[in-house]
């Protein structure tokens, strides 16, 4: 009887949590008129902001995947001084308020900073530019990729890498032909998470580049200027896109053995 009570309570609490997540999403979708949704889809400002959001998030993911995968392998394979501190630093963007992250980035990439002056000499201005949006998205979402890739590399048997090295393969060849392919599921899963997190970013992006507007900034701008009814259709479009990428993430991260069962 006590076991049954516990299971009933666990199911009840689970139902409450699921309802807490589903109810707002279902409510905004069901309360949006189809005509308003169709008008938003045909609005060039909306489609432009969505394409910019997707482009910037994909760019951030691809650029920093190239930079971070070797680093994730080192974190998985090597022991070094202050390794725990380094791992903690990687997770900092997750816990820092994102508006604070945007202000911190602003001090590094503004026109008055050293990096900003160097970029200006090449005709690049990060503030109010897609390149600044890419940097802001990458900053807040990069931990998802690094942590997932690190776990993937850690799951690769070390003996396979050592065997390839003993047979004369270079470390780079071992990395690209053994380590990366065997950790690919976690790498792809982390990349999708990084992409989805970057696509939903508001706080850091709005500090770096209010214009051109990415979709989360456009939703905020329409809500603050015109009210809920004007912002709701754009929010529904972004929710649908987020659900699509969430399903993609779940499919990509599914264990192949479980998928066959």
Residues in the chain: 261
**41-260: which CATH number, 1.10.3720.10, 3.40.50.300, 3.40.50.2300, 3.90.940.20?**
1.10.3720.10
For tokens 């990366």, name the residue: 180
Q: Give 211's DSSP letter.
A: S
* pLDDT value, residue 242: 83
| Burial tier of 183 (Cβ tally within 10 Å: 0-12, 13-18, 19+) | buried
Q: What is the pLDDT of residues 10-30, one digit of tens each?
A: 999 999 999 999 999 999 988
* pLDDT value, residue 245: 76
Question: Which CB contacts under 8 angstroms, 24+ apart, belong to 95-103?
Answer: 97/203, 98/140, 98/201, 98/202, 98/203, 98/204, 99/203, 99/204, 99/206, 99/207, 101/136, 101/139, 101/140, 101/203, 101/204, 102/136, 102/203, 102/204, 102/205, 102/206, 102/207, 102/208, 103/207
Structure tokens at 125: 């201005």
Residue ranges of the chain with pLDDT lower than 50?
Answer: 256-261
* pLDDT value, residue 260: 43
Q: Which residues contact 37 (CB under 8 A, 6 or more apart)?
A: 233, 236, 237
- Kindly list the domain boundaries of the chain, sorted by start residue: 1-31, 41-260
Enter the pTM of the model: 0.88
For tokens 């998470």, name the residue: 193
Q: What is the pLDDT of residues 179-216, one digit of tens each?
A: 999 999 999 889 988 998 999 999 999 999 999 999 99
């Amino acid at each position: 009887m006590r076991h049954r009570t516990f299971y009933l309570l666990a199911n009840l609490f689970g139902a409450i949590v699921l309802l807490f997540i589903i109810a707002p999403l279902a409510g905004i979708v069901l309360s949006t008129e189809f005509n308003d949704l169709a008008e938003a889809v045909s609005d060039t400002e909306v489609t432009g902001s969505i394409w910019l959001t997707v482009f910037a998030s994909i760019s951030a993911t691809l650029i920093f995947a190239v930079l971070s995968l070797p680093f994730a392998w080192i974190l998985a394979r090597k022991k070094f001084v202050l390794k725990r501190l380094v791992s903690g630093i990687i997770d900092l963007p997750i816990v820092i308020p994102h508006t604070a992250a945007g202000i911190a980035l602003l001090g590094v990439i503004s026109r008055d900073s050293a990096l900003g002056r160097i970029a200006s000499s090449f005709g690049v201005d990060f503030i109010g530019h897609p390149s600044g949006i890419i940097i802001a998205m990458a900053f807040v979402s990069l931990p998802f990729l690094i942590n997932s890739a690190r776990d993937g590399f850690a799951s690769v048997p070390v003996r396979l890498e050592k065997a390839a090295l003993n047979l004369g393969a270079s470390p780079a060849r071992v990395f690209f032909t053994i380590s990366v392919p065997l950790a690919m599921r976690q790498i792809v899963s982390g990349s999708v998470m990084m992409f989805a997190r970057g696509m939903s970013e508001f706080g850091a992006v709005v500090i770096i580049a209010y214009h051109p507007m990415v979709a989360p900034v456009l939703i905020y701008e329409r809500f603050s200027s015109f009210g809920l009814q004007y912002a709701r259709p754009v929010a529904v479009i972004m929710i649908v896109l987020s659900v699509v990428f969430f399903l993609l993430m779940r499919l990509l991260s599914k264990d192949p053995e479980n998928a066959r069962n």
